A and B are shown apart, each in its own frame.
Chain A
Amino acid sequence: MKKKLLVLTLLIMVVFVLSACSSQRQNRRPDDNTLYVGSVQTSFPTSFMPWLSREGIAPTIASMLYNTLFSYDEETGLFNPIIGKEWYYVDDDGNPIVTEEGIIDYDRLEAIYGDPSRQYLAVKVIIHDNITWSDGVPLTVEDIYYSFDIGTNHLLSNHAGALAWTSDLRHNYTNGVLTRQGLFTYENGAAQQGYTIAEEDKDTVIYMHVNKVLGSVMPLFSSLLILPKHIWEPVVSPENQLNSASPTEETLYRYQNPVGSGPYVIDTERSGSQQIVLHRRDDYHLKKDDGSPLFNIETVNLILYQEINVAIYALLKGHIDVLDTAVSSNYLRLFEQEEEILISNAPGTFVQTLVLNVNPVNSERNPIRDLLRENEFRKAIALAINQDNLIENVLNGAGIPVSPGLMRASMTEIYNPHADRLPSDHQERLAEANAILDRFVPDKDSAGYRLLDGERVSFNILGHPGEQDVISYLEIQLQKIGIEVNYAAKGSQPETTFLYTSRFDMTLQGVIFSLSNVDIMYRAHFSALGRTSNYGRLVNPELNQKINTMRTTLNLNTKYTLIQEIQPLIADEFYKIPLYTSNVISVARTDRFTGYQVVDGATIFNNATLQNLVRVKEE
């Protein structure tokens, strides 16, 4: 009996294994018109309400399903049409403030709005008249009004991003009551405000009042994804917020079956926790010049991989066409041997910096940390850091050095090449650094480290486990000037644990400064104190004043000049010392599609690629 049982069990095991082996492995890319995209994530979202998109790939998908008013072109400094067709600053009568060539007339803008008694800038936006939501309902300015309006009303929406993006809109609610109106359409008070909108334009013209800062329109135009009023208004209430923690079934259905205005729609039948399938909308309002669809790819199939090595093998073995995730430069050699693999080594936009705690709160001060309060001491650290060496060793050469002004050289309009005032020869830099430190801490221990009152000058650098190699190389570089640094784990809540409370010596921090974000980011990184990215609590009145003037000027040319003037001030503080900008390395197969586009700061799976890819046999 026992033998029979044993044999039966073994038989079941054999059948199990054989059945697993029996079927032929299916073609992993069966559809010729589908782009198979590997995505390395912990999970895929199941809700597609764009304002809830907090995790992983959700923002990427949201931007394919929904649209903003415009997209911002960092190179030209212009807004490209999406939902919006054109926009202007306007005078009190709603007339555009533009030159004869149709571009913004900054002199007139200053003349009209420069008066301190003027509280806001008035902006007119005209949207395309042929846009429909994916359910066929026309998109009008009432949808724009609804989206901005609900973004400011935290009784109906508690979305941090929306609140931040609309913070420069002078349209405010207090406890659910509109206390100041800053949005005007034909149906919502335009005439009362003195803005004339013809009846035939009632669906396409909206006026906005924004704070008197040129950058005010930036997040409104290019960050906030527009929501369909006809979908959300019927279900959203103070009891059932837009992002309710206990959504009703009806709301949940809307989260999971999105209606957007973007170029793709989600195939809810085929999408799930392991894959997301998106189909191109043929009625998308933006087309190529020849009238063909703007996006060449008909279907995008995003496949979840939770482990990067598995995703890379899946690409190498032809299970997918492209990886949407940046890969480490350690994999470069592996890809270089493959004929059908395209490596995109796109210039990065993210600057890795070493942030010093220059002004800790009193309770966190100590004699060694106080050394970082000295500008000259910080300069010595900056001199000892060799960006080329870090790029070669940490990034395998896949990166570029960054100016101490922290602006990328590719930002030609605003980059100041004279911000870097330190010598370029590294031996010279080390000699200067040691000379400086000999004035502060001349004594050394037997290992060559400097001593302050008999104690070794040693600092901890906060970082994530993946940043240990950078810190190891910094340890070697700073050892040359007798300063010891060690890795210290940042943990999952570094802001509240260490950074906002001054409980750190140094930390690694990635920063991106560009024309589109300097208004917010310069303040957050160098000026504001408290819960901001100014972790080391830098206080520099001259820098603060320049940042403030830059933010508030109504003349774009003046703004550019001020941004250039700010960079040497930042560099001379030696507060956020640049380490490198790493390239964004991503990979794709070229056996089925060609025409991948390399975009700064992005992986090869990007909007431009989706617009340009063509099937190989069609070439």
Chain B
Amino acid sequence: MYAQTKIQRKLITDTDAKKVPDTDVPNELKRESLSLPNVPESEVVRHYKILASMNFGVDNGPYPLGSCTMKYNPKYADRLSSLGSATEVHPYQDQSTIQGTLEMMYDMEQKLSKIAGMDAFTLQPAAGAHGEHAAILMIKAYHEKNGEERDEVILPDSAHGTNPASAAMAGYKVIEIPSAPDGSVDIDALRSAVSKRTAAFMLTNPNTLGIFDKNIKEIAKLVNDAGALMYYDGANLNAIMGITTPGDMGFDVVHFNVHKTFGAPHGGGGPGSGPVGVKKRLIPYLPSPVIEKVKDKYVLKDNGNLSIGKMRSFYGNINVILRGYAYILRMGSEGLKDATVRSVLNSNYLKELLKEDYEIPYGDLKKHEFVVSASRQKKKNGVKAMDIAKRLIDYGIHPPTIYFPMLVDESMMFEPTEDCSKEDLDRIAEVMIKISKEDPELVINAPYNTSVSRVDETKAAKDAILSTRYLRNKRQ
């Protein structure tokens, strides 16, 4: 069994205030006192070392978190991203002094374009959702330039939550269409939703149920014929590399997640990178600057009047791009395809091992992820997806994504990735089956081996204690 340390650490920020010494700051701007951590360096390291032991990362064990592609983060990429030649450069340096990084960025754009079947890429967006927002703004600028007023974005009910949020952020009305009985896009529903007001249709293929939509060409034609654009959410790219591309499927614009598909670490919630690729007709709308190769030199250029401008300061999370670039170079065409094949094989194999004991809706052939329903367990003895997830932790397995997608009752979305060994997959299945037979009381009160027991999320939201400062002021 897995076990975490149970030592509770005092908050390092919970300290007394100190008087600020005198400085040249004008009197009316002088600060009087400040309460900041005050412990020796050895204590800082020990504190965070103990906190680290209360955390679970990809290196700790299986992490089949659906739609998050928690693959192994190669250590050579860590080494490269910490090189001084990568870290000690200022974004406004003369372009002649940053040719190395510009070459890497240019080549990365070329390679991503090929993987996506697109004509050009921007590396600027700092995460997947940020890429979606950037892409939606480009789509908006494109329609506006063509003198069209389109104010709706359509997406299926299986879409990632960021899709509707990104479209809404840019002021679009979001229209969610129900999925067909087999989990794919309901073409009739799409046909009746599409109109002159449609700016784009957002889709990930395979979708969040792990279903590859065979009708994708027909869908793309339907959308394009209405003058709208096809948007590809690349969160599920790991299922298609070397098999197909968003471009070949008929998409016009796509975002990738370098911190998913290309092995860059998630960092406990970033920094990530969400580069966006476009077909030729959208190139003028890409954020500025763009990188061009002129003879042997790489140059950063303003992208002209139609460009949407900037989505983030400077050029993007280049340190994350660098890790993804290293991964892509190391893997090559064959390696990327192999990653896809193995991730799809692992997902189907795990599904096969689970299908007797758990309900697995929407067809038998999955791609890189699949959704299990714990509805049978819930009906039988009240054990919910949440409980099973928490109990998995006791066995050293990170839970799958739960309660998403919302169209499956008590959903548990597994994405084992290519980096799960057969031994790990057998074990995940064995533990899942074991949990379904365990005493419900035991499961409902899990986990036991973690630094804390089941956390009270309702209280957290009710109290809204978000800092030691607030806590201190409240106490006084």
Q: Is the A/B pair a real complex?
A: no
Q: Which residues of B contact A (CB under 8 A)?
A: none
Q: Which residues of A contact B (CB under 8 A)?
A: none
